[in-house]
Structure 1
């Protein structure tokens, strides 16, 4: 049995990833920081509730959630000249170090009685300024140390770790908050990023891994290099538009689903948690399966996932039994990691290595902006049409977007064959 299990592991598309010397050094720290972020999903909002004035708690919770993500998009847009030519290990290491320091300051200030809601929001914002560049650094590192054929499996490993930690992190955060308050969880999150920063400082360095030393000359870097590269490549531009539309149209679900559960289904917080748990479990399975798609054509598969995602989301806004709705959301979760990994692989394969950090940072910035914009649309959409109609509209919008992308891709392919 042990021999059979060992043989199965070695024949897996993930074996070249997890057995690679550099990836073995990266994965423990990455997994730990992902777990910290999973716990922060609960702690960031809960701490805002503890600190904010009672009358304005809802506003401050929304501001805290935005502060933990949106400055990363701003950093991607304005720091291109400064960071675009840096080695990926430095980008990822600096992001982890900044997160560790800014987040670590929060429980210290709280213990000293200096933490108010304003300082809390400011420190959250500082912690996320380099996050788009940090993510770009990690995926550029992966693209440089692994052969092209292993990029998708490598992306899937990172995506699966993130999905798993999104499920486990909140479960761990709840008893920690009950025991020591939200400050304890934020301190733990800071510690996990300190470990990741140490990983890049001591275990993964450009001088010890030659593939990571390649960088663009600073004289050619600019704030908009990543967007310029994308704009000049029709495939990358189409992928960025598709990704923006996909995440934007999913944004209203974050508003509509809780109201659909509470007001239209008469369900409790437990039912809402069941929906998110189903999505998370589906995402873990989807991440594990993604590596086996490496022989599929990436662009058609990516478009097909968008179409399928819209289709499986449709029943959630219809009058179907709750188990069917939960299964539909789990199926949507199953498709989420493959889309992320496949689209990242397309960027990795279609971009010069020296320009990859800027391109991935630009892509990350667009993704970070698209979901909050879609979520903001969810408010008036629900107010005007109701939660179930908003859910159906989001599903139909995603489905139509995927079909439109398929038509454009088919027409482009036909035109290229004629020429």
Structure 2
């Protein structure tokens, strides 16, 4: 229960939010599930390294990370005909139950001696098939429950939970990996999804509105293609995520091979990134006073620069500081890009555009992780990490050139009687 004193200390929107009994029932299990997912940031790649034969650990780690994410994007596109008809609660419960069963099979197969690389990748891939729909259900769950003026507060609390899990989850997994196999850490994540499915299924909620049949991701992609600025934002964000994908695979090998350390240090890296991201997100108020395009391009360039200290392998300190700075500058990026979408997308198609955006972006990081695993078998982890940063830096001048070209094209095709306006183009 919440005491009167803490309630008075909360800002007004949060007081009314936490006064809602259903929100108080569900938010703790959401936070628990976020913590479980935070632990898998370390556990999935670390378990792949232990399962992979000598000389191919990097490739298996890349495939494992990709298989844990990529099928979710495919499921968003392929299964939309059936899944978009389901209410938000059923989407969330179905996804959580599937992940609980299949991720829970990982420690069981490990205990039975049946966890081969193929079995491991298969379980991870199957568990993620509905995850894009589960995430959509999670964010849509409170729409019929709360008034419109509380949606920002809900999104803020959910985002804070995710970033907090980015700090605590990897650090906790790093500690546990020194005691138990990473397979059991994945089993803990499965348990959090089981709790989420049970609590959400038993909570009484108003009936969520069913999305229109023609509101699938394909329609959202058509809208994005007709909006050059939004389509460009999607492309540059996809490349940004693609460039970050190899980091998830190369960082474990950097810690184990180059620094000769264990999972505890790997957890410290991700915790430092999470702390930086929380601080960066809290500084969003200042960032919003900056022009959106320069702010986002500056974030990408700064993130790339922050990856360059990984070239130094004598000690962890330079790269640890750099990774914390990468989190710091990355913190506001998602909110800034969503602000741009909300400003530019047609109001009656906003959810469709966001669904299409999520489906496309879900493919970027896994492909980057798979490419990183391929490269790790041919070069060193520091080289992959620094190359990821270099790709981010190169993304910025490329985006600026495209912005100028698009602006020129828009001016040539604008009718002479049309009022002058700022050319909008890609990010």
Q: Determine if the TM-score, normalized by the shorter chain, exceeds 0.5.
A: yes
Aligned match of 2:188? 188
How far is the alpha carbon of 1:113 from its aligned partner?
A: 6.5
Call closer, same or farther: CA 1:161–1:291 in 2, change over 3 Å.
Answer: farther
Q: What is the CA–CA distance in structure 2 between the aligned matches of 1:90 and 1:354, rounded to whole Å?
A: 24
Aligned match of 2:79? 79
Q: What is the CA–CA distance in structure 1 between the aligned matches of 2:234 and 2:194, rounded to whole Å?
A: 32
Aligned match of 1:213? 209
| Uncovered stretches (5+) of structure 2, i.e. residues with no partner | 422-427
Aligned match of 2:164? 164
Q: What is the CA–CA distance in structure 1 between the aligned matches of 2:275 and 2:254, rounded to whole Å?
A: 21
Aligned match of 2:124? 124
Aligned match of 1:104? 104
CA displacement, residues 122-163 of structure 1 (integer Å, 9 cap, x when unaligned): 222211001112222333446776777766664443333223
Q: Is the 8 A contact 1:69 1:368 kept in 2?
A: yes
Cα RMSD for the two superposed structures: 4.4
Call closer, same or farther: CA 1:372–1:214 in 2, change over 3 Å.
Answer: closer
Q: What is the CA–CA distance in structure 1 between the aligned matches of 2:286 and 2:64, rounded to whole Å?
A: 38
Aligned match of 1:9? 10
Instruction: Indicate whether 1:232 and 2:232 are aligned.
Output: no
How far is the alpha carbon of 1:243 from its aligned partner?
A: 0.9
Q: What is the CA–CA distance in structure 1 between the aligned matches of 2:126 and 2:46, rounded to whole Å?
A: 19
How far is the alpha carbon of 1:94 from its aligned partner?
A: 1.9
How far is the alpha carbon of 1:102 from its aligned partner?
A: 2.0
Instruction: Indicate whether 1:305 and 2:307 are aligned.
Output: no
Q: Is the 8 A contact 1:133 1:361 kept in 2?
A: no
Instruction: Indicate whether 1:286 and 2:280 are aligned.
Output: yes
Instruction: Indicate whether 1:398 and 2:389 are aligned.
Output: no
Q: What is the CA–CA distance in structure 2 between the aligned matches of 1:300 and 1:198, rounded to whole Å?
A: 45
How far is the alpha carbon of 1:78 from its aligned partner?
A: 0.9
CA displacement, residues 41-71 of structure 1 (integer Å, 9 cap, x when unaligned): 3443455566666786555444333322221
Q: Is the 8 A contact 2:69 2:366 kept in 1?
A: no
Deviates more, 1:271-280 or 1:143-152: 143-152
Q: Matched residue of 1:224: which SS?
A: helix
Q: What is the CA–CA distance in structure 2 between the aligned matches of 1:174 and 1:266, rounded to whole Å?
A: 15
Aligned match of 2:420? 418
Deviates more, 1:186-195 or 1:140-149: 140-149
| Number of positions where the alignment pairs a residue of Structure 1 with one of Structure 2 | 410
Q: Matched residue of 1:129: which SS?
A: coil
Q: Is the 8 A contact 1:152 1:341 kept in 2?
A: no
How far is the alpha carbon of 1:244 from its aligned partner?
A: 0.4
Q: Quick one: which of 249, 271, 277 aligns to 1:277?
A: 271
| Uncovered stretches (5+) of structure 1, i.e. residues with no partner | none
Aligned match of 1:247? 241
Aligned match of 1:38? 38
TM-score normalised per structure 2: 0.75
